[in-house]
Structure 1
Amino acid sequence: MAQRHLDPTDPTAAIAPVTADALAAYLRAQATEFLRALRLHREAGAGAAGGTAETVDAARALRRSARRISGSLHTFRPLLDETWSEELRPELAWLSGTLALEHACQSRLTRLLRALNRLSPLTDAAPSPRTGTAAGTRADADAGSRAAGAMGVPPAPEPVGGARGRVGAGGTPCSKSLGEAPAAAAPGTARALPHAATPDRGRPAPPDRSHPAPADRGNLTVGAAKAGALLDRQLTLARTRAHSTALQALGSARFHAVADKVALLASDVPLAPAAHATDPRPLATAAEERLTDAVAALPLVTAGSPYNAQALVHGLSPDPTPHPQDAPWHQVRLLLRLHRYAGEALRGGEEPGLPVDPLLLAAGQALNLHREASEAAAAASSAARTPRIAPATAYALGVLHADQRHEVEAARFAFQQSWQKRTIGAG
């Protein structure tokens, strides 16, 4: 008779029967990884903001093990000592969140600069202004020169002739590139920039017939460069502050108390008295059911379309509060992580090479991209609300915001596709 093989992607079939010993082994393995990463982080040294590659890898390993321990303490609460679990779990969440801030600022800046580089028309040079033309505010001029190297755009003075002001990044329509200005500005949106003005106010310079591209296209190139410089200045400052906060956290008495508890966890897991007589698989199943219920509450029918126009309209709102549709998706991302960690815990950490469900992995990657794009859009919106920036800079940030909201919709569509295939396969 043929032998029946267990499905390697099914966490409940990896080890049978499953006991609390598997959870204890998993927690001990993650605690050991935490201590190893902490030792590597101390040996690599703190350094400047960003640190070395070894420091970044060690901080990532610290976050990874802290997330898994905290998630397992949350999912398998009835199997663990209640007092000890409730004390350690929020501390690990605090540590993981603190260490993630610096990496989030750096990845957000990289994402936004790449998007600006993709959207801006780098092939068209800005028209040369006549002698005596005003060049905008001094801050924007300095910002444009600093952005020339990072964005690959030659710095050029910004034309005047339009009313100065600022607009919310959500108030601009989305186009394929920053050079495609809207034909008619809707209320609350950024207006198309005028041509460079001559010293005689009110009389625009004659168009340059040698360049087929309109003058606004070159002006928006300058706006993209200054937008990149503004984002670089703001996010670099936020990253430096996050780095200082992380260093203070790693040297605080609060962190040393967490490290001591994790060191004890590496040798002894405080299980509940009835843990050995309790099957942990129903707890993992409950985590999966919470994930399924949260996904069922998502607007997957709307996300089934590659272009969710209704959500994009809400995304372009000038309201500075977080997007109301993003919070449920972020919650699903957290529940998906808890489901994955529960499957790892049932295997006891003894088979780290066991393959993970590829559809579940693809769904998690889509939700990660969703969070990155939504936070990048919020950063562009916040930068566009900076006082006294030039209209071209505000318009570039608005188009960047709309582009990132499109990325949010694309990530939702990708998650919907992965989850639908997984549901059909499970059925």
Structure 2
Amino acid sequence: MRAQATEFLRALRLHRENGAGAPVADHTDAPRALRRAARRISGSLHTFQALLDGDWSEAIRPELAWLSGTLALEHAYASRLDRLLQALHRLSGPASPASPASPVSAGYPDPPPPGLPAQQSADRGAPDRGALTVGAAKAGALLDRQLTLARTRAHSTALQALGSSRFHAVADKVAVLASDVPLVPGAAGADLRPLAAAAEDRLTDAVAALPLVTAGSPYNAAALIHGLSPDPSPHPQDTPWHQVRLLLRLHRYAREVVVGDDTPVGVRLLAAGEALDRHRDAAEAAAAAAQAARTPRIAPATAYALGVLHADQRHEVEAARYAFQHCWRKEPAGTP
């Protein structure tokens, strides 16, 4: 925690030296480094809270979550727009002569997973490109306008947050943490392994409780029925998967504390994390497409293109769930 607090302060100094900071595309920009350090400190507080002063932990954890969430929005909107525009181009552009309905476009590995009916795979990769092309340009322009505006507002919000008294209060607490971790009496020599094991157990239980036993097969029609409906409410099956993604991240952080961050992360955990990241990105992109489709007085062709885009991203959600279940069933390698 002292090391992460030091990283936080180093990123804060970089931010102050650079003024407004580097653009979002720069992977070394100060706001991203601040967010990363805040997220890791918060993760350690969550897992090892029994060893830390309770009042102090309860006071700083919500503030770190606020900071991390605020700083994440600008990059999230930029990535979402890029994902949706690429998907629109793929769906409305000319089909590949070699593979007009390649399962790769559905997010499935190559070769296609067993159990996916051939007709479903063909339907997945071959929308009505003629009708789709008519509205794709306007759909892309609408998404660009909406998400660019959201990104600009998120950028302004992040700058305001970094200049606020609330942020300075968080920075002061982290500065103290860099030199003095508020431990409870007797915590200095405590064994951290049981607490890290408890974080892994929470992850295992959450995976076991996922609402989709059918995610073990590559086509989950029950989820798509709701996902492709006009209901504007969030997909009821997405939240438990997002929770698993959070718990997987906490497990990885706890593992780094126990075995050291120099120990390589197992392929199974990396693949599971990547699948859950794709799941989150596709679910949020689908929601953005659905929100754009509810814009008043848009042309039918534009609404059609956005509907196809929404369906495409919900299929990507199901593909990510299948990929997660596929890699999670593999036995972990014999690493510490």
What TM-score, normalized to structure 1?
0.69
Residue number in structure 1 paired with 2:275: 366
Q: Deviations over 1:354-385 (max 9, x none)?
A: 21111011101110110000000000000000
Residue number in structure 2 paired with 1:33: 7
Residue number in structure 2 paired with 1:400: 309
The 8 Å contact of residues 300 and 416 in structure 1, kept in 2 or not, is answered as no
In structure 1, C-alpha distance between the alignment counterparts of 2:226 and 2:291, rounded to whole Å:
16
Detail structure 1 runs of 4+ shifted over 4 Å in the superposition. Answer: 52-56, 423-426
1:175 CA drift (Å): 4.9
1:277 CA drift (Å): 4.8
Q: Which residue, out of 99, 108, 129, partners 2:80?
A: 108
Q: 1:54 to 1:223 in 2, by over 3 A?
A: closer
Does 2:248 align with 1:336? yes
1:52 CA drift (Å): 6.2
Residue number in structure 2 paired with 1:241: 153
1:57 CA drift (Å): 2.6
Q: 1:305 to 1:55 in 2, by over 3 A?
A: closer
1:41 CA drift (Å): 2.1
The 8 Å contact of residues 24 and 75 in structure 2, kept in 1 or not, is answered as no
Residue number in structure 1 paired with 2:20: 46
Residue number in structure 1 paired with 2:65: 93
The 8 Å contact of residues 40 and 54 in structure 1, kept in 2 or not, is answered as no
In structure 2, C-alpha distance between the alignment counterparts of 1:102 and 1:342, rounded to whole Å:
28
1:388 CA drift (Å): 0.2
Aligned pairs for 1:156-167 (under 5 A) are: none
SS in 2 for 1:421: coil
Aligned pairs for 1:52-201 (under 5 A) are: 57-121=29-93, 175-180=124-129
Residue number in structure 1 paired with 2:103: none
In structure 2, C-alpha distance between the alignment counterparts of 1:268 and 1:278, rounded to whole Å:
17
The 8 Å contact of residues 211 and 237 in structure 2, kept in 1 or not, is answered as no
In structure 1, C-alpha distance between the alignment counterparts of 2:332 and 2:206, rounded to whole Å:
14
In structure 1, C-alpha distance between the alignment counterparts of 2:81 and 2:140, rounded to whole Å:
9
1:85 CA drift (Å): 1.0
The 8 Å contact of residues 113 and 228 in structure 1, kept in 2 or not, is answered as yes
Residue number in structure 2 paired with 1:149: none
The 8 Å contact of residues 45 and 55 in structure 1, kept in 2 or not, is answered as no
Greater helix content:
2
The 8 Å contact of residues 41 and 54 in structure 1, kept in 2 or not, is answered as no
Aligned residues: CA RMSD:
2.0
In structure 2, C-alpha distance between the alignment counterparts of 1:68 and 1:394, rounded to whole Å:
41
Residue number in structure 2 paired with 1:323: 235
List alignment gaps of at least 5 residues for structure 2: 96-122
Residue number in structure 2 paired with 1:386: 295
Q: Deviations over 1:241-299 (max 9, x none)?
A: 10010000000000001011111111111111121353221111111111111000114
Amino acid at match of 2:5: A
In structure 1, C-alpha distance between the alignment counterparts of 2:194 and 2:24, rounded to whole Å:
43
Q: 1:79 to 1:286 in 2, by over 3 A?
A: same
List alignment gaps of at least 5 residues for structure 1: 1-26, 124-173, 181-216
Larger Rg, first or second structure (1 or 2): 1
SS in 2 for 1:238: helix
What TM-score, normalized to structure 2?
0.87
Q: Deviations over 1:97-145 (max 9, x none)?
A: 000011100000000000000000358xxxxxxxxxxxxxxxxxxxxxx
Q: Deviations over 1:306-358 (max 9, x none)?
A: 221221111111110100000000000111111111111224xxx53321111
The 8 Å contact of residues 268 and 332 in structure 2, kept in 1 or not, is answered as no
SS in 2 for 1:422: coil
In structure 2, C-alpha distance between the alignment counterparts of 1:220 and 1:341, rounded to whole Å:
44
SS in 1 for 2:329: helix
Amino acid at match of 1:221: T
The 8 Å contact of residues 35 and 67 in structure 2, kept in 1 or not, is answered as yes
